[in-house]
Chains A and B, each alone.
Chain A
């Protein structure tokens, strides 16, 4: 009988703990939502962040990168507002200037989702200053000029710059020539977006498919 009594007490305690956990979680949910927004608003920035990581700046950059993707994913599923994305990607790249993916991703989101290509281009310029030998950054900057600001002369300039850097693929030269000769061509934009669809990450692929649909390209899914 004593054994049963102990079991009943254990079950009651476990049930109380589960119920309490549920209540605490519900109470915390609203606070967590607000805190997440504030967290990014007050996300540290500037060169001091780098010092504060005590030599572990690339691991800290990865954490900020993962948080930035999470932020993008959350807002993609809700209000589709990405106001803090530039701020977060700036921190990631302050911590790890050689990490090139955040420049491209942040610039694409600012250009295509926020409709602020100039901010995106500023991030790309920062990337090119830190990685002057990286052909991809020059190429993507040309791309953003082509589809974002529609400055085809600038696009041609950056494609040409990409085609002069080590490791560039043969299509960089082709795109430089296209952009220079046929500025404003819809076919060129479709070509560029198809390349993103084939090589970008899953979020960029979705943006590419949407842009391809907008351009009326029938080949995409």
Chain B
């Protein structure tokens, strides 16, 4: 377990070195500018517009960070051959993978927390009211990022950075269309097609489970049972992915 923690800490340091603070600063400046420019144009809906853009921007940026940085994390270790030094220590490959996952997820969660804090601050200062309900959406976004990080780590365990980024992005897009896939499969298709689409439906991550951005903006709180369900689903999904990724990575030949 100590090995996992050490690798996670190292991954956090590595990701932070990629100018994450700059991302936060740019996000803050962008949101302040947007609130000043958009508020007069939104006919009294400035608070909603700024909160919406803030939440959507945070989630998009954090997802991009996970996909872009995550897809090359393992590859860098292989390319620089630093993985051999790590593997010489009493640590299993699957633990190494788990450490990478934890490091990336923790960093993404910290980034999300920072960006949501900026949203809360900007909305409070601009409109004199703190939208505390966005914290429920933040918890769900952190869980969503856990699933996305696991997807990235899963693909990076057996393919190149470019393909990892592509497959991860495709899975995220498909995860938002999971319900439609099931619907089309059930509309008079051959039985085997219906069964295949149903299987894909269950395999895809149901990312809509983690999306409460639209609700909190309209003053609807995230219910504790929804949070509990999302946590259970997200943790089970990412654990399953990490187990499969670990098994693949154990068998992978390093060149």
Decide whether A and B are members of one complex. yes
Residue of A whose beta carbon sits closest to that of B173: A54
Partner of A69, one of B41, B60, B207: B41
A-B contact count (CB 8 A): 59
Q: Indicate if the CB atoms of B43 and A51 lie closer than 8 Å.
A: no
From residue B161, how far is it (CB to closest CB) to chain A in Å? 23
How many angstroms between the C-alpha atoms of A140 and B38 in the bound complex?
Answer: 26
Number of interface residues of A (CB under 8 A): 21
Residue of B whose beta carbon sits closest to that of A102: B45
Q: Indicate if the CB atoms of A65 and B45 lie closer than 8 Å.
A: yes
Q: Indicate if the CB atoms of A69 and B173 lie closer than 8 Å.
A: no
Residue of B whose beta carbon sits closest to that of A58: B214
Q: Which residues of A contact B211 (CB under 8 A)?
A: 55
How many angstroms between the C-alpha atoms of A96 and B217 in the bound complex?
Answer: 11
Q: Indicate if the CB atoms of B43 and A56 lie closer than 8 Å.
A: no
Partner of B176, one of A51, A66, A70: A51
Chain B interface, DSSP helix/strand/loop, else mixed: helix
How many angstroms between the C-alpha atoms of A182 and B60 in the bound complex?
Answer: 55
Q: Confirm or deny: B158 has a beta carbon within 8 angstroms of a beta carbon on chain A.
A: no
From residue B3, how far is it (CB to closest CB) to chain A in Å? 36
Q: Indicate if the CB atoms of A201 and B43 lie closer than 8 Å.
A: yes
Q: Which residues of A contact B56 (CB under 8 A)?
A: 56, 58-59
Q: Indicate if the CB atoms of A56 and B218 lie closer than 8 Å.
A: no
Q: Indicate if the CB atoms of B218 and A69 lie closer than 8 Å.
A: no
Q: Confirm or deny: B213 has a beta carbon within 8 angstroms of a beta carbon on chain A.
A: yes
Q: Confirm or deny: A62 has a beta carbon within 8 angstroms of a beta carbon on chain B.
A: yes
Q: Confirm or deny: B132 has a beta carbon within 8 angstroms of a beta carbon on chain A.
A: no
Q: Which residues of B contact A101 (CB under 8 A)?
A: 43-45
Q: Which of B47-55, B96-104, B149-157 contacts A (4 or more CB under 8 A)?
A: B47-55
- A66-B41, A99-B48, A201-B43 are known contacts. Are A55 and B207 too (CB-CB below 8 A)? yes
How many angstroms between the C-alpha atoms of A203 and B207 in the bound complex?
Answer: 39
Q: Indicate if the CB atoms of B43 and A58 lie closer than 8 Å.
A: no
Interface residues of A in 144-174 (CB under 8 A from B): none
Extra A-B contacts (5), CB below 8 Å, given A59-B53, A202-B43 = A51-B176, A51-B180, A59-B56, A62-B49, A99-B48
